[in-house]
Amino acid sequence: MAGESVIGDGLLQRVGAEDASSDAERGESAWIEVIHKMDQVYADLVHYQVELEEKNSALEEAQHFIENVQTSMTDVLIVCDINGDIKQANRALQQLTGCAAEELVGRPFSALFESDSRQLVAQFAEKIRSETVYDCEVNLLGSDGAPTPLAMNCNSLFDHEGKLVGMVLIGRPVGELRRAYEALHRTHNELQQAQRQLVHSEKMASLGRLVAGVAHELNNPISFVFGNMHALKGYGERIKRYLEALHGGDDPAACATLREELRIDRILGDIGSLIDGTLEGAERVSNIVQDLRRFSGNQQQQQQVFELCPLVRTAVDWVIKAARDKPRVELRLDESLSVEGNNGSTHQILVNLLQNAVDVLEDRDDPRLCVCCRREAERVLVEVSDNGPGIPQSDLLRVFDPFFTTKEVGKGTGLGLYISYGLATDQGGDLQAVNLPAGGARFVLSMKAA
């Protein structure tokens, strides 16, 4: 500012000294013009300087802002040149590696990683030419020498002319997240395992109760297999005696008498049906064992198509035969009901429902149980109804809660309905409880019709 006034004053003084001729006047006005122009140029200069200063301070502010953002980033930021040498690194990286910014700048960025990740990061420079690298898992060498897992993204860095000059790497430490995820995964697996064990032990508990019924079921065919075998043994001995007489050279009349005596002809007529009956008994035993195996096996939940009615009959037979007080049972089954689900699970659900009904009917007058299976549109419904006390309104939903039981300790686990509900929904079905207007409860298992 001081310079301006000195120059300006000096020129005006000189102009003021020549005022005689017109030439001098023209010269004077030219000078004045020059002086004005210079004043204007000077004012512009001052203006530009102010503007420049303003821009500079805005630039400084922006740079400061960017630095602050980089510093407060928890993600790691690395900027490299085209050779992979670090040009800039934020505080998160300095903290994780334990190196100051000056130590990092100029180093090849791949040296920051564990040897198992180096090959991967070495490919970044080539990869970013065609795509952005997303969520690549790499291990950074931590300050304590331990690897720090990072989910890393890598992008190209261009200059103002659009020329590729380097790459920008952003890494998110995933150690905590990964540890939390692994812990969650482990707990989830343990929970699933515990749940499977729960289902199995509940199944074993109800199987224990069924044993008497199953033993009864087995007893019948086994006893007639025994009976038949006993008879066959006697028949065998008589046939042997007759054959010995025949081949021993006895005369034909004596042989005929013996044949009559030993009732060989009756034996020959009988033997076929005895063998058939025995085979049938053995088959029945084998079927029961198969049912038992199906029920007790810790099978996976495979969906299959099967006939529901034989399954219902077996479940009813077993439960009723094992019951101390046997209720009157009414079975209302449609001829053929094909369903889609898991037959072992369905059997387990039915046994649970029937055992519950038998339990509430104990010591009641005229205990009655009705199992009705029918098709309704795309569903098959199995209703297990009893004329017991019913379920208090407030417990209608609670009965499906785990460990909800009104039975005395040692008698009920409170898991039967909880597990049955899970098994029903797992196979695309449903299980609901209602009270009957005439008294008693009804459980409705709904399944997919095949």
Ligand X SMILES: Nc1ncnc2c1ncn2[C@@H]1O[C@H](COP(=O)(O)OP(=O)(O)O)[C@@H](O)[C@H]1O
Binding site for Mg ion (CB under 5 A): 356, 416
Stretch that binds ligand X, among 109-117, 212-220, 234-242, 414-422 (CB under 6 A): 414-422
Instruction: Measure the CA dihedral 357/359/363/364, to 10°.
Output: -20
Q: Residue 380: which of 317, 325, 446, 322 has the closest Cα?
A: 446
- Residue 140 contacts which entry, Mg ion, ligand X, none (Cβ below 5-8 A, type-dependent): none
- Residue 386 contacts which entry, ligand X, Mg ion, none (Cβ below 5-8 A, type-dependent): ligand X
Q: Is the CB of 196 or the CB of 407 nearer to ligand X?
A: 407
Q: Is the CB of 113 or the CB of 421 nearer to ligand X?
A: 421
State how far the Cα of 369 lies from the Cα of 440, in Å rounded to an integer.
Answer: 10
What is the secondary structure of 339-350 as a DSSP string? Answer: EEE-HHHHHHHH
| Furthest-apart CA atoms within the chain: distance in Å | 188
412 binds ligand X (CB under 6 A): yes
> What is the per-residue binding string for ligand X in 428-447, x denoting contact by CB under 6 A?
-------------x------
> What stretches of 340-447 show up as alpha helix (H) in DSSP?
343-361, 416-426
If phi > 0 it is left, if psi is from -120 to 50 it is alpha, else beta; for residue 47 that is alpha
- Residue 407 contacts which entry, Mg ion, ligand X, none (Cβ below 5-8 A, type-dependent): ligand X
The Cα angle at residue 117 between residues 111 and 119, in degrees rounded to 5: 85
Q: Is the CB of 416 or the CB of 422 nearer to ligand X?
A: 416
- Residue 360 contacts which entry, Mg ion, ligand X, none (Cβ below 5-8 A, type-dependent): ligand X
What tokens appear for 371 in the block? 């199992």
- Residue 391 contacts which entry, Mg ion, ligand X, none (Cβ below 5-8 A, type-dependent): ligand X
Q: Is the CB of 224 or the CB of 404 nearer to ligand X?
A: 404
417 binds ligand X (CB under 6 A): yes
In DSSP terms, 446 is beta-bridged to 381, 430
386 binds ligand X (CB under 6 A): yes
387 binds ligand X (CB under 6 A): no
**Are residues 79 and 109 in contact, defined by beta-carbon separation less than 8 angstroms?**
no
In the complex, the smallest distance separating the C-beta of residue 405 from ligand X, rounded to whole angstroms, is: 3
In the complex, the smallest distance separating the C-beta of residue 412 from Mg ion, rounded to whole angstroms, is: 6
CB burial readout 139-156, b (16+ within 10 A) else e: bbbbeeeeebbbbbbbeb
Q: Residue 168: which of 157, 178, 179 has the closest Cα?
A: 157
Stretch that binds ligand X, among 40-48, 179-187, 306-314, 383-391 (CB under 6 A): 383-391
By CB under 6 A, how many residues form the interface with ligand X?
20
State how far the Cα of 302 lies from the Cα of 307, in Å rounded to an integer.
Answer: 15
In the complex, the smallest distance separating the C-beta of residue 415 from ligand X, rounded to whole angstroms, is: 6
State how far the Cα of 403 lies from the Cα of 411, in Å rounded to an integer.
Answer: 12
Q: Which pairing describes strands 338-341 and 368-376: parallel, antiparallel, or unpaired?
A: unpaired
The dihedrals phi and psi of 20, each to the nearest 5 degrees, come to: -85, -70
- Please give the span between the terminal C-alpha atoms of the chain, in angstroms, as a whole number: 99
Where do we find the tokens 């331990």? 146
Q: Is the CB of 336 or the CB of 394 nearer to ligand X?
A: 394
Q: Is the CB of 166 or the CB of 327 nearer to ligand X?
A: 327
In the complex, the smallest distance separating the C-beta of residue 422 from Mg ion, rounded to whole angstroms, is: 14
The dihedrals phi and psi of 299, each to the nearest 5 degrees, come to: -75, 155
Burial classification of residue 219, based on how many CB atoms lie within 10 Å of its CB (0-12 exposed, 13-18 middle, 19 or more buried):
exposed
413 binds ligand X (CB under 6 A): yes
348 binds ligand X (CB under 6 A): no
In the complex, the smallest distance separating the C-beta of residue 141 from Mg ion, rounded to whole angstroms, is: 59
In the complex, the smallest distance separating the C-beta of residue 330 from ligand X, rounded to whole angstroms, is: 15
Stretch that binds ligand X, among 169-177, 241-249, 258-266, 384-392 (CB under 6 A): 384-392
Q: Is the CB of 77 or the CB of 399 nearer to ligand X?
A: 399
> What is the per-residue binding string for ligand X in 388-407, x denoting contact by CB under 6 A?
x--x-------x----xxxx
Q: What residue ranges bind ligand X (CB under 6 A)? A: 352, 356-357, 360, 386, 388, 391, 399, 404-407, 412-418, 441
